[in-house]
Structure 1
Amino acid sequence: MDRIGLTTVVFRNRFASTKPKNQVLEDELTLLSTPEYFVDRFKVHNVEMWTPHFESTSKNYLKELKRSLKKERCKLINLQSEGKFDPSDPLEENRLKAVIEVKNWVDVAKSLQCEAVRVKSMKKSYSKAVLSLNEITKYAKAKGITILIENHSDLFSDYKNHTNIIKDVPLNNIGLLADFGNYSSNPVMFDSLKHIAPFTRLVSAKTKDFSNQMEHIPYDFQKCIGIFEASGYQGIYSCEQWGKANPNYDYEKITDWMIDNIKESI
C-alpha cells in the first residue's frame, strides 16, 4: 500500500463545500476526519487533499489538521489547489493574483509538511504560464515544496507543453502530475502518457464512469498503469474518480476497485 494514495476529490459529495446543491449531505466528511477514514476504511496512508475542502487556513485549523494526519501516521502527498485566477492569464493583474493564490497554498503545504502543490488548470497563454511557474516554483523551492503541473483539460493536455515546462522552468522542484483522463481521446491519452511518464512525480490514477457491473467504461485503467510501470515509475498512484454525476454510485466500492486494480498492476 506504500504506492497507493487517495484524494478527497473522490468523496466530494460528502463535503459540505462541494456536494451537489440539490443533494442532502449524508455521512459528512471533513478534512479533519479524512485521515482516520482513509486509514480505517481503505488502509491508505498517502493522502491528497483538494483545496475547496479546507474549512479554514488559520494557524489553529492547520495545527489541528496536522495533528489528525500525524495521529493516523498519514503522509500528505499533495494539495490539489484551486483558485479564482489563471496563472496563464495574459492580463497581468489577473496573472499576479493567480501567482499569489498558489503561493498561499504553498505556505499551507509548508505548515502541514505536505510534499507538493498541484497548480490549478491553465488555459490561456503558455508563455504566461512559464512566467508564473518560474516565480511560483522559485518561491516553493525556498519552502521545500514541489510544484506539480497536471494535464488538466488545459494547455498541459498537450504533451509537448507538458514536457516542455520541465525545460522552461529549470528548477529541480517542479514535476509533472499525470492524470489518466483529461485528453481528447483514448489514443491521444495512451500516447501522451508514454511521453510524460519519464517526468512524472505523481500519478492521478483516475477513473470516470462505471457500469452497473462495476466495469470501468471509458478506458483500460490497468493499461494506463502499465505505461508508467514500463517507464520505470516508482512513485504513488493516487486514486481519483471524476465522471458524470450518478446518484447510484457507491464511491467506497469504486475506491476498492481502484485499489485492487492498482495492486494487480504494480
Structure 2
Amino acid sequence: MTNRRQFLQYSAAAAATSLTASSLLAQERPGGQDAPFKISLAEWSLHRSLRDASKGISNLDFPRLAKEEFGIDAVEYVNQFFKDKAQDEAYLTDLKGRCDDLGVKSLLIMCDGEGNLGDPDNNARTRAVENHYKWVDAAKFLGCHSIRVNAASRGSYEEQMKLASDGLRRLSEYAKPKGLNVLVENHGGLSSNGAWLAATIEKTQMDNCGTLPDFGNFYVTRGKTPEMYDRYKGVEELMPYAKAVSAKSHDFDADGNEIHTDYEKMMRIVLDHGYHGYVGIEYEGSKDSEYDGIKKTKTLLERVAAKLAKA
C-alpha cells in the first residue's frame, strides 16, 4: 500500500508528461499502419452485471473481464461504480496494479453525478467544477488521458453555451497542468445538438477541452414527441474536437449489423477527420446479454476496420 507521500510523488511524475503527449495518446495509430483504429471497452456496457450482487463482480474486476472475456486491452471507467474511491489511495493502487499485471490501459473515467458544469447558479457551478477535481486526480494516477463530463445547463441556447463553456474552461484549467483532457459527450439536452456542443467547446478556448462523440446519444429531448439530432451530422460536427469516440450499440440484425447506426458510414466520418485512436464499445441493448452484445459490437467493429483498412 502506498502512503500519502508516495501517492503524491506518483501523481507528480504523471503530471510531468506533457499535455501534448497525453492528447497524442488518444490520437495515436495503434497496431501498425494498417490498423485504422483500436477497440476499447466502456464499463457502462456491463452496468447491469455490475449492479447485480449475484454476479459477484465489481469495478476491480473490470480490467480482467475486458481482457479475458473479450480480448480487449484498453478500458474506460464509469465513476459511479467506484464513486467513493476517487481519493482512496489503496483502492486506486490496487486497480492500477491489476491493469499493469494484465497489460490493460486505462483510458478515461466517465464522470456523472457531480453537479452541472453549466449550472446558472455560480456557486453551484463552482461546486460542480470542484467536485470533478478528484476525478481528474484519480484519472491521472491510473494513467488515463481524460475524464468525460457532461455539459448540462438551463436557459436559452446562448445562455447555456456561455454557462457551460465557463464551467468547462475552469475545469480544463485545473486539468491542463496535470496533463489531462476534459471531454464532453453528447448526453442529452443541448449537448446532443452537435452544432451547440462544438461551439461550446470552441468557446472554452482550451486545447485540452474536447469531445467524446457517441454514436447514439442524440436525443435533445425525450418523451412522446422526442427531438433527435441527426447522428451522422452530429458526429461530423464533433469530430474536429474529439479525443475519444464511443461506439454505442443496441440491436443487431441477422448479419451482425447494428440496426440503428450504419457503423461503416459512421467510422468513415471518424477516420476522415484523422482520428486513429481508441473506439470504445458501449453496448446498451436488452435483446442480447451484455456479454453477447459486447462481442457482437466488437465483431462488427473488427469487420468495419478490416474493410476500411483496405479502402
Answer whether TM exceeds 0.5 for this pair. yes
Q: Give the aligned length.
A: 256
> 1:131-174 deviations in whole A, cap 9, x for unaligned?
11111001001111111111111322112222223321222212
2: distance between equivalents of 1:4 and 1:160?
A: 27
Give how far 1:187 is off.
7.1
Which one of 30, 33, 36 corresponds to residue 64 of structure 2?
A: 36
Give how far 1:221 is off.
2.8
Give how far 1:38 is off.
0.8
1: distance between equivalents of 2:235 and 2:72?
A: 25
Aligned residue identity for 2:244: L
Which one of 77, 95, 98 corresponds to residue 65 of structure 1?
A: 95
> 1:39-63 deviations in whole A, cap 9, x for unaligned?
1111111100000011523111111
2: distance between equivalents of 1:190 and 1:28?
A: 38
Gapped runs of 5+ residues in structure 2? 1-29, 32-37, 155-159, 220-226, 306-311
Which one of 230, 233, 244 corresponds to residue 202 of structure 1?
A: 244
Matched, 1:141 2:170: no
TM-score normalized with structure 2 length: 0.76
Q: Is the 8 A contact 2:147 2:180 kept in 1?
A: yes
Aligned residue identity for 1:261: L
Quote the residue 1:240 is aligned against: 282
Matched, 1:99 2:138: no
TM-score normalized with structure 1 length: 0.88
Which one of 171, 179, 182 corresponds to residue 214 of structure 2?
A: 179
> 1:85-131 deviations in whole A, cap 9, x for unaligned?
11111012221111112112111112212110001341422211111
2: distance between equivalents of 1:84 and 1:145?
A: 18
Give how far 1:256 is off.
1.2
Aligned residue identity for 1:162: L
Quote the residue 1:27 is aligned against: 55
2: distance between equivalents of 1:205 and 1:198?
A: 17
Quote the residue 1:228 is aligned against: 270
CA pair 171-187 structure 1, distance change in 2 beyond 3 A:
closer
Aligned residue identity for 1:150: E
Quote the residue 2:301 is aligned against: 262
- Rg (Cα) greater in structure: 2
Give how far 1:195 is off.
2.0
Quote the residue 1:168 is aligned against: 203
Q: Is the 8 A contact 1:7 1:240 kept in 2?
A: yes
Matched, 1:56 2:85: yes
Q: Is the 8 A contact 1:178 1:197 kept in 2?
A: yes
Q: Is the 8 A contact 2:118 2:153 kept in 1?
A: yes
Gapped runs of 5+ residues in structure 1? 20-24
2: distance between equivalents of 1:250 and 1:223?
A: 26
1: distance between equivalents of 2:254 and 2:80?
A: 30
